[in-house]
Structure 1
Amino acid sequence: MSDHGIISGVGFCTGTGIGDLSVLEAALARFVALRADVAELSLYGEDLIAGGRVIGSRAQRLAEICRRYPLRYTVHGQIVSNFMDEPHLPLQKAVVRAMLELCDRVGATVLVHHSGTAPAGRIADHTRYDTLEREALAEMAEVARGYGVRIALENIFAMSDAEYRQSPAEVAATVQAIGRPNLCALLDFSHAYIECTRRGLDWREQIRAMAAVAGHLHVHDSFGRPCTMTHFHHPCEATALGIGDLHLPLGWGDIPWEELFAELTFLPDTALVLEITERYDAELPESLALARRLAARANVCGRVAAG
């Protein structure tokens, strides 16, 4: 990333080619045609790691593809990454190490890592899970420092009361407690909206707490409605009902983007990544234009706050 402002780049995430790197390459070509700055590589779906080790030949091909396009890169790690997963913690850390190696190979400056989940239970159990996660994140942040990569800890929503997840403000507190320069928060606005609706939390207050330590943004629209229905004949039905984590084009949901970007500020050199479902390809130009306006507003507000 450059240092041209609070938000220094705007772009898109790739879909998952299920190991077909030609699909990823086609996505990068599309992003360049749209004049995006950033591509977030969804490497969890590309068969680049086996048993915690990078597959060298495939990583080399990935690097060759990335060098063909004038984009800045970030990497999305495993969806199942979970440093509260005590039985599999050594494996979880091995994959994060491998993802950091892949970041280095493609010149990515950010690795997205999901915040942890565990069975809901006693407060004492939650404290133990939080400690496990903090220790692992501190260790991996030092590894990331060696690669010049920043780990971005993403806020996620729980599917039910049987699942323990940190609130957005608690994710921010985790980042602050660890206090490593190579660890920041990743604010996913829609995830925060859904979790705060589910738990009856003040959404705007929660994202303000997280924005202060956020060095990466995931932007996509929704109605903030928890996943009270999980089975649909077609994904369009979920969109019609406005239920769940929809990854909609900006303006299709009810998130007040203009208001939020007028009042929030983030860490310097933050990337804004549009995480919009692949079937909305025709809507990408309009969302990119709005995202650029939001980034410009955040940069103006950031300069005013700094002054």
Structure 2
Amino acid sequence: MNSNKIISSVGFSTPTGKGNFDTLEAGLRHISNLGADAAELSIYAEEMISGGRVIGGRLQRLTEITRKFDLRFSVHGQIVSNFMDREHLDLQKAVVRSMIEICNSVGAGVLVHHSGTAPILAKTRTTDLDQMERDALAEISDYARRHGVRIALENIFSMGDEQYRQTPAEVAETVRHIASPHVCGLIDFSHAYIESTRLGLDWCDEIRAMAPVTGHLHVHDSFGLPYTMTNFYHPAEATALGIGDLHLPIGWGDIPWAEIFDELTFLPDTTLIMEIGEDRFSHEQAESLALARDLADRVNNRRKAA
């Protein structure tokens, strides 16, 4: 841990290779060559776990690859990880435990875990869903503690009123309720922007509520527009219209990054990860890295001056 800084490392998420470790290794080499400090391993697509159990041979291969690079690693868990999934909760927890074991093996101190979701039906009690997620997180946090890993609970957006998601401020309350040093918040700024627009909330207030419990950041740009249409033939069409979770380079959307990072602070030793893929934006990544380092400096220099 480097507690001398609030934002201690800046980097990118790796491309998804769908089980092809050559893609992962090439992605890490690209991130390293850019001069980044950190990489988030998108291993949910790498066939690392089977039926809740880690596949030893593939974990060995992953470990061999990561040892080639002087980067700080985090791991992005399953996109479908969901502690509000009553039907599959035991399976969900088994996979998260395996993800924690993978983190431990590759020296990743953070596991990204999506906040829960469930359909809103006539008999749905959202307080029951919240409690189910809190109970599962409390249980898993002890497993994370024993493996030296911190779970970063990420705020997500809903696709419509029939889907329950916690707002960023509610995600922060979940983290506070767990009250474990092995569970922190993860602010995804674009997700917060989209969900706040959808619900008519002040999105700056929402991320202000999360910031004090946040130890991991996902940065990518957008216009905060919910998915009022989804039938895009190509991702570039969504970009052209400015609709949805676009994962754009910094400055391509309208998120006021400088204002945010001039105001907010986070937990010590926070990592800033840009989910800006080289498959689409390899030529823009270097500029985004420079801009992200400036954002980190805004936070860190303010702490020095305090």
Report the TM-score when normalising by structure 1: 0.98
For the residue of structure 1 that corresponds to 2:282, the secondary structure is helix
Aligned equivalents of 1:241 and 1:37: distance in 2?
A: 33
Q: How many correspondences in the alignment?
A: 305
What is the match of residue 294 of structure 2?
293
- Is contact 1:112-1:154 (8 Å) kept? yes
Could you give the per-residue CA deviations for residues 18-56 of structure 1, whole angstroms, max 9, x where no partner exists?
000110000110011101000000010000000000000
What is the match of residue 216 of structure 2?
216
- Is contact 1:8-1:270 (8 Å) kept? yes
What is the match of residue 84 of structure 2?
84
Aligned equivalents of 1:124 and 1:242: distance in 2?
A: 33
Aligned equivalents of 1:122 and 1:178: distance in 2?
A: 29
Letter in 2 for 1:48: M
- Is contact 1:120-1:163 (8 Å) kept? yes
What is the match of residue 106 of structure 2?
106
What is the match of residue 21 of structure 2?
21
CA RMSD of aligned residues (A): 1.1
Could you give the per-residue CA deviations for residues 157-188 of structure 1, whole angstroms, max 9, x where no partner exists?
00000000000000000000110110000000
What is the match of residue 236 of structure 1?
236
Aligned equivalents of 1:288 and 1:120: distance in 2?
A: 40
What is the match of residue 32 of structure 2?
32
- 1:154-233 alignment runs, 5 A limit: 154-233=154-233
- Is contact 1:215-1:271 (8 Å) kept? yes
What is the match of residue 63 of structure 2?
63
For the residue of structure 2 that corresponds to 1:156, the secondary structure is coil
Could you give the per-residue CA deviations for residues 258-289 of structure 1, whole angstroms, max 9, x where no partner exists?
00000000000000000013311110000000
For the residue of structure 1 that corresponds to 2:222, the secondary structure is coil
Aligned equivalents of 1:65 and 1:132: distance in 2?
A: 37
In the superposition, relative to structure 1, how do residues 120 and 102 fare at CA in structure 2: closer, same or farther (>3 Å)?
same
Aligned equivalents of 2:198 and 2:13: distance in 1?
A: 27
Distance apart, 1:3 and its partner CA: 2.5
Could you give the per-residue CA deviations for residues 224-268 of structure 1, whole angstroms, max 9, x where no partner exists?
000111111111000000000000000000000000000000000
- Is contact 1:265-1:301 (8 Å) kept? no
1:48 aligns with 2:78: no
For the residue of structure 1 that corresponds to 2:254, the secondary structure is coil
Please, which runs of 5 or more residues in structure 2 have no aligned partner? none
In the superposition, relative to structure 1, how do residues 122 and 202 fare at CA in structure 2: closer, same or farther (>3 Å)?
farther
- Is contact 1:6-1:270 (8 Å) kept? yes
1:5 aligns with 2:5: yes
For the residue of structure 2 that corresponds to 1:222, the secondary structure is coil
Distance apart, 1:73 and its partner CA: 0.3
- Is contact 1:43-1:76 (8 Å) kept? yes
Moved more, 271-280 or 81-90: 271-280
Aligned equivalents of 1:124 and 1:91: distance in 2?
A: 22
Aligned equivalents of 1:17 and 1:284: distance in 2?
A: 19
Could you give the per-residue CA deviations for residues 29-86 of structure 1, whole angstroms, max 9, x where no partner exists?
0011101000000010000000000000000000000000110100000000000000
Distance apart, 1:301 and its partner CA: 2.4
Report the TM-score when normalising by structure 2: 0.98
1:94 aligns with 2:94: yes
Letter in 2 for 1:280: F
Aligned equivalents of 2:237 and 2:217: distance in 1?
A: 27
Please, which runs of 5 or more residues in structure 1 have no aligned partner? none
Letter in 2 for 1:120: I
For the residue of structure 1 that corresponds to 2:2, the secondary structure is coil
